[in-house]
Structure 1
Amino acid sequence: MEALQIIANNGTVRRASSFNEYAEDAQIITDEPIIRKANHFIEANTQEVTLQHLVKDCIIPVFSKDNELTISHPQFIETVYDAAQSFFSRERIEQPEIRTSHVVKGRIPQAIHKPANQLLESDKTIYYERAAFSIDIPTVYETVEGNRLNLSVTGVRAFNRESLFSKKSAERFSVAIGFKNQVCCNMCVSTDGLKNDIRVTSSRDLYQAILELFNQYNPAKHIHLMQSLGDSHLSEHQFCQILGKMRLYQCLPQGYQKRLPRMLLTDSQINNVARSYISDENFGSLGNDLNMWKFYNLLTGSNKSSYIDSFLDRSLNATEIAQGINNALHGDEQFKWFID
């Protein structure tokens, strides 16, 4: 910002030739920087990385018994990106936002006898056990309750789900296509927009599975379901009762729990829903009725604290809970237990 010169105003007419005699000492006015927390589609214990970092700085895990390469995180991301470019050829495809967790550290053979405090950066190796990414397609969008939703593709890979100590076998991937709320970067996932257990042995097979997912997904139906949430409301009493039932759900006997719809949110995430109801600037409604669209975003917002390997499954479950409770408000029996 440019410095401003503050001039005393005493009503005197000033000529250009004598301007300086009326000028007071300059004061520098600066704006304090406003620090805003960046929104990410997932948070938990993740860190943001670049594709270049994954390619240049990370090793590729192998199946130990035959030393066969796994499909690496960069290969996974590039395969999904290529599939999105092919399927949405007329749309703008943004670069992926990548989040990783659970770093696995190692060292090169030449540094095997070095003490840890003497290791050089060139002696170290790393890879990330878990990676998630989101690719936005901002030219495909809709507005729901004043929130812009961009079409988005999300991928999840977790090596802890693989048997790396055996021979090469089919590897597991999770991919979803849905909408990302641009107000908060919450992911909205529907049943037909998720393949949570893709098992393939090559990038080519993975590419084909992703195209099949894109083809089966119905974005118009998904948008309609989300728009319908804004037509129903919870009273504060009903909202508190639902939270109480969610906490109770975790403690139910297994047989009793199986008779109810699944609910995957943890106690800490339910606490986050309650906290956000009070303080969230976009979806909080303390003292007022809460529409089901806001309730849905409280659920998807709390899901950001999930670990990468459970993120998409809980994203879908948040949709199931919101739509189920919305239906229960209109007489459906399936989720009635949560509002009784």
Structure 2
Amino acid sequence: MKNLVIMPAMAQNRERMNLGEYAEEATIIMDDPVKPANHFIEANTQEVTLNHLKNDCITPVFSKDNELTINHAQFVETIQDAAQSFFSGEKVEQATIRTSHIIKGRIPEAIHKPANQLLESDKTIYYERAAFSIDIPTIYETVGGNKLNLSIVGVRAYNQMNLYSKKVPELFRLAIGFKNQVCCNMCIFTDGYKDDLRVSNTTELYRAALELFSNYNPAKHLYLMQQLGNTSMSEHQFCQIIGRMRLYQCLPTGYQKALPRMLLTDTQINSVAKAYINDENFGSFGNELNMWKFYNLLTGANKSSYIDSFLDRSLNATEMALGINSALHGDEKYKWFID
């Protein structure tokens, strides 16, 4: 890996980021990347501001003891603070936040008003699900001709918690990886993802975020992604893989459990097939398809996932791409997908 770009403060902290055996000398440059216009997740989400979450949304409680949850705004602010602390000296952008599944209510004084007579001040809202992305554009690399920025992604979904109980440690999902700037696809690797982060307060959340950042090995992650560009598949092999992925969901339970997991839905697999033909960045209709492009077809399709399944499928896209890449070189684990 020749061109991992790290700003001066980051270059001083190479040991902390575990660059180790995978990294060569860093190139230190200054840059002002252009913020991309598209989104890291789409589905049925809408973009909101931190100010909106703080000032316009109520905070859900655990109903049995009326204890407050950690709300979405506190989640975003805690991880933003942790990122700015850990990556001190780097440019840490403000979080881009997207929400879904709005929960509407009323203040007590408006309980008996007809709906068409409600004032904005009579209404209460909060969002069942929220996701955010914090980019660190001064830490980046080029893979397959695409610029990748280091990015932190958080996901919170109240539907995955029992708010009818007493207060218990709350569930969060947090990841650090790279975002492909040409398409905003998220690239998540195993050691950069906490899928069952349970904490009781923002202090524990802050500490867990720092631990995740410290354990993540960006150079190893980049190295694995770079290797994907060295292998290609034929159109026939791609069609075989798409067909097997469609079959996967219909397999008997025992048969399916014997195979590596595959989390993309039929609709998303159809999106991969369409993008193979039409995508201007990663489509390869009529030609060989390298595994880096295949990986981005998977991560692109994943942007249609709901917030609560987004990061699990992001990681699974990495598992699928790396596994099939190994299968093309004779490894047995993912062989079923290309048989």
Cα displacement (A) at 1:285: 0.4
Q: Where in structure 2 are there 5+ consecutive unaligned residues?
A: 1-35
Q: Which residue of 1 aligns with 2:90?
A: 91
Q: Where in structure 1 are there 5+ consecutive unaligned residues?
A: 1-36
One-letter code of the match for 1:133? F
Cα displacement (A) at 1:93: 0.1
Q: Which residue of 1 aligns with 2:63?
A: 64
Query: TM-score, length-normalised on structure 2?
Result: 0.89
Matches of 1:320 and 1:90, distance apart in 2: 33
One-letter code of the match for 1:319? T
Q: Which residue of 2 aligns with 1:130?
A: 129
* 1:255-311 per-position Cα deviation (integer Å, ceiling 9, x unaligned): 000000000000000000000001000000000000000000000000000000000
Identity of aligned residues (%): 77
1:248 is aligned to 2:250: no
**Structure with more relative contact order (C-alpha pairs < 8 Å, separation 6 or more):** 2
Q: Which residue of 2 aligns with 1:266?
A: 265
Q: Which residue of 2 aligns with 1:157?
A: 156
Matches of 1:295 and 1:166, distance apart in 2: 44
Cα displacement (A) at 1:166: 1.0
Q: Which residue of 1 aligns with 2:218?
A: 219
Residues 114-263 of structure 1: matches in 2 within 5 Å?
Answer: 114-263=113-262
Q: Which residue of 2 aligns with 1:10?
A: none
Matches of 2:326 and 2:192, distance apart in 1: 21
Matches of 1:146 and 1:247, distance apart in 2: 30
Residues 15-30 of structure 1: matches in 2 within 5 Å?
Answer: none
One-letter code of the match for 2:86? F
Matches of 1:242 and 1:39, distance apart in 2: 28
Matches of 1:141 and 1:315, distance apart in 2: 19
Cα displacement (A) at 1:162: 1.1
One-letter code of the match for 2:157? A
Q: Secondary structure at the match of 1:99?
A: strand
Matches of 1:269 and 1:230, distance apart in 2: 23
One-letter code of the match for 1:40? H
1:277 is aligned to 2:295: no
Matches of 2:216 and 2:333, distance apart in 1: 25
Q: Which residue of 2 aligns with 1:42?
A: 41
Matches of 2:184 and 2:234, distance apart in 1: 26
Cα displacement (A) at 1:161: 0.9
Cα displacement (A) at 1:219: 0.1
One-letter code of the match for 2:63? S
Q: Secondary structure at the match of 2:150?
A: strand
One-letter code of the match for 1:292? M
Query: TM-score, length-normalised on structure 1?
Result: 0.89
Q: Which residue of 1 aligns with 2:309?
A: 310
Q: Which residue of 2 aligns with 1:332?
A: 331
Matches of 2:64 and 2:288, distance apart in 1: 59
Matches of 2:284 and 2:152, distance apart in 1: 30
One-letter code of the match for 1:258? K
Matches of 1:145 and 1:226, distance apart in 2: 9
1:73 is aligned to 2:72: yes
* 1:188-228 per-position Cα deviation (integer Å, ceiling 9, x unaligned): 00000000110010000011111110111000000000000
* 1:37-80 per-position Cα deviation (integer Å, ceiling 9, x unaligned): 94100000000000000011000001111111000000000010
Between structure 1 and structure 2, the one with the greater Rg is 1
Q: CA RMSD in A?
A: 0.8
Q: Which residue of 1 aligns with 2:27?
A: none
Q: Secondary structure at the match of 2:303?
A: helix
Matches of 1:80 and 1:197, distance apart in 2: 16
Q: Which residue of 2 aligns with 1:298?
A: 297
Q: Which residue of 2 aligns with 1:286?
A: 285
Q: Which residue of 2 aligns with 1:23?
A: none
Q: Which residue of 2 aligns with 1:110?
A: 109
Q: Secondary structure at the match of 1:305?
A: coil
Matches of 1:161 and 1:245, distance apart in 2: 30
Matches of 1:143 and 1:90, distance apart in 2: 22
One-letter code of the match for 2:210? L
Matches of 1:199 and 1:144, distance apart in 2: 34
Cα displacement (A) at 1:91: 0.6
One-letter code of the match for 2:320? I
